Amino acid sequence: MRWDASRPVPWRRLVKEWLIYAGIMTAVFALVMRDVDRLLPVLGGLLVSGPLYLLLGYVLAKLGYTRKTLADLRTPRATSSSSTSSTSADGAARPRPAPTRRTSSGGHRPKSKRR
């Protein structure tokens, strides 16, 4: 897609995602690294990742990239799993396929040889 300056940037979502990531990673690094002298540079790098993440999200949003939310991802799955196998996604009943040699209508047994 082309750059479009009029496309909106989801700043609130980008900041919220990065804050969740930074919080989880801070907790993980605090548990793994007990030495404070080794932890400070790692946390500094984590803080630097914030503006980089926001810049990348800005560029991608202006180029037209939008990720689906979790609710958007769940919605199609919920509607298709609730429908039965005999109905399609739009709710109309699917016609039965024509029987073949391998999928007979049932009740037919192989003929036995006459003695």
Evaluate whether residue 85 is within a structural domain: no
- Asked whether 46 and 29 are in contact (CB, 8 A), the reply is yes
Domain presence at residue 80: no
Check residues 15 and 106 and name the one with the higher pLDDT. Answer: 15
Q: Which two tokens stand for residue 10?
A: 């989801």
**9 in a domain, yes or no?**
yes
Residue 32 lies in a domain: yes
Q: Is residue 37 part of a domain?
A: yes
Claim: this prediction has a pTM higher than 0.95: no
With DSSP H G I counted as helix, E B as strand and the rest as coil, what are the percentages for the chain, rounded to 5? Answer: 55, 0, 45
Please count the structural domains in the chain: 1
Indicate whether 74 belongs to any domain: no
Q: What is the pLDDT of residue 86?
A: 47
Does 93 map to a domain? no
Domain that holds residue 45: 1-65
Q: What are 28-82's pLDDT values in tens digits?
A: 999 998 888 899 999 999 999 999 999 999 999 999 998 888 888 888 655 555 5
Q: How is residue 89 annotated by DSSP?
A: T
